[in-house]
Structure 1
Amino acid sequence: MSDQIIGTTAADIADSVRDLRDRGVLVAGSPLPPVRELATSLGVNRNTAVAAYRQLAQAGIVLSRGRAGTVITGHESVAQEGYASDTVLRDVGTGNPDPRLIPDPSRALATVAGRPVLYGEPVIDPGLDEWARDWIAQDLDPLDFRITVTSGAVDAVERLLAQALMRDDAVALEDPCFLASIHTVRLGGYRAIPVPVDEEGMTVEGLRAALDAGIRAVICTPRAQNPTGASLTPARAAALRAVLAEHPYVLIIEDDHFSLLAQRPYETLIGPDHRRFALVRSVSKFLGPDMCLAVAATDATTHERLAMRLSPGTTWVSHLLQRLTLTQLTDRSVVAEIEAARDHYASRNAAFAARLGAHGIVCAPTEGLSLWIELPKPARLVAERLMRRGWLARTGDDFALDDRADPSHHLRLTVHDLSDDDTATLVADLVAATR
């Protein structure tokens, strides 16, 4: 195949691969030659071939599978968060917050319009910057950090990886893993190194093995890990920090997505002397997914690199959105609504888990918008039986980093918005489906 790819620059090589795909010479699943082989056949520097593959990966044309090589991507559907389309089944695998518990922004909207913001002005609204510093300082003090605002947590993670990594660099991901993190790493052309998650969060042995594999970044969810709901315990966080202390330049990205809804205190992997870090907190879980805004607290070097990707007039986050966020989060009535939502999610999930436990189905007491339910049978079999009873569930297979992993024995169910009658019906149907 390498003899059909032409070009002497990264752009020319990428265009050649794109042209071969468009003409049907390369199809979904077609392997591309290793970087070194391609560089040799074209007589170019290896970095040129790397840059070409990076361009193709960022465009979604190729997918890096680590040691399995790089292949042309297909148009097959991939697992996504949210409601399933085109189904008459009751969807209990959405991972969504309850829309009834998202504060109404109507009153705040009337107050945020003001002087227009023009090109060249600061990209962060001064009021939000001050509020965010105070919020983050409660958990990162005495670390020296800078604040950046991005269009949500996924945008923050993508930018953080892009400013720190090259194609084929290794990234440690929790296994099972948040769907958006899987897609971000794959589309960026990075190699995902799985780190197992148990009831206390990332395992120490798994992180140590990932570091031995040469990771340059680690993405961790300190609270309400998606999909398992696990939160770091103080002991586990301390043990992980001890391991990372020997690798101060590995970029730590903490996605604290559940922040204001969490009942458990924040624990961190970021040690006092760690040099590259980012704590990311989005507002989507408590102000709604349409509020595409996240605050990223980073070290100074990372902040400077992120600033180059968030320039005035091009990729900044709307100041209207920033002001709306600040107005809501400083409104006592909105804060009270968020606290009520926190209690609601916790109580509804706990009640459902208790019902399952009474029938011998294991569901650990964790946090988050969903429950991670352990099954005595393969999850796909149980999900198929639930479909015949009118339910659409999401299996743990979607969250596995390794497509060749053994079939999952877990379901991730979002049940906090079910009525008492629907809850009783789902529990009965789930018990029947596991027999």
Structure 2
Amino acid sequence: MSRTTSTAIPRSAVATMAATRRSVLRGIGLSGLAVGGASLLAACGGDDGPATGSGATVKFGINEAKGSGPAYDRLAAMAEAYTAETDTEVALNAVDHNTFQESINTYLQGTPDDVFTWFAGFRMAQFAEAGLISDLSDQWPIDGLNDSFKEASTAPDGKQYFVPASYYPWAVFYKKSVFEKNGWTAPETSDDLFALMDDMQGKKITPFAFGDKDGWPAMGTFDILNMRLNGFDFHMSLMAGDEAWDGDEVKLVFQTWKDLLPYHQADPLGRTWQEAATSMGNGESGMYLLGTFVVDAISDVADDLDFFTFPALDSSIGADALDAPIDGFCVASAGKNQDAAKAMVKWLGSAAAADAANAGADAPFISANSNASTSPYTDLQKKSAEVVGAAANIAQFMDRDTNADFANTVMIPSIQAFLKDPDDIDGITASIQEQAASILG
């Protein structure tokens, strides 16, 4: 079988992430975590048997509802494969993504499942600081997960609380056939980008698809503009609350974004990311800045898709940073079967788990484990692994790199306010800074 070469997230990137998490976490307790919604997660029932092997049961909470698509199929295939390999029963608790996210804090403080799906970065570190997830240091090293992924799994106390499974980059997607028909090539500079967008508009094609009805997609635009204009280190310091949100650097981000908005679909707050993706899929829009999950919305043209990383806007900063969130697993400290949970979570980070997941779903993920087979990967995924491996700095995405309360209750409405009135940059940044001082300290 074909095997990957190492696609490590650069150590400089994850080391910076760990340092900024320490800064963000100062003085933040449970108030910084997402609070439970009206519909709370409930752990699966069943008696706790032996720790592992025949008769053992491990409860597995996942953030995908049954029948929701490839993401559910991959997780269910992992659970089935683990039972087949170890004779440990896996009780699957499948919950729709939004309910899972909204209810996670109450869930973890109640009677949670033993193992649950979660994210690297600040989201993981918050739960570690609050004592809601278990120390997994005794499960590391994990064969195939290099030091970079170990760093991404490390909380400010220097211990590991997370096992990575997959990752995906954010980039600018486009249809190869549309670019070929019009003689367009991927832009390498800011001038190239503006020339391309002008040509698209001249041909009655909206340069960028854009939808922010759900609130979070536009965070990706802020992230990339900030990293291109102010650099990765500034971006991570800003997420930590160590830079001013009303300073000239952030105002430059919003001003540049304002200059780019005429090249984007109008009225983005009334459009979901799936609807925006469809506009690119049918040729109404030429490009779309999004994660590789864009394929889920326009799978019928997946073979026609390609991408490029957002070009440099400042030659002194370059274009070697991007968002590439890492998904994986944690063990709930209130879970009843810690030994079984730790054994399972280590296996979930293995090449065998990744291969089982990708064999069990129509759409594979990009495995964090360098020993996993790449034979199921699409061309886009193979390119994604190369791009992430070549990047100098990797961010996790705004709502994973900063306090969840700040991201959701401050930045979502603030960015949406900007999209409604891009002329009020001073007012918006002043409001963000006032709230950041309160939440981030």
Q: Common fold, TM-score beyond 0.5?
A: no
Structure with higher Rg: it is: 1
The answer to which structure has the higher helix fraction is 2
With the length of structure 1 as denominator, give the TM-score of the two structures: 0.26
Q: Which has the higher contact order (CA 8 A, sep 6+)?
A: 2
With the length of structure 2 as denominator, give the TM-score of the two structures: 0.25
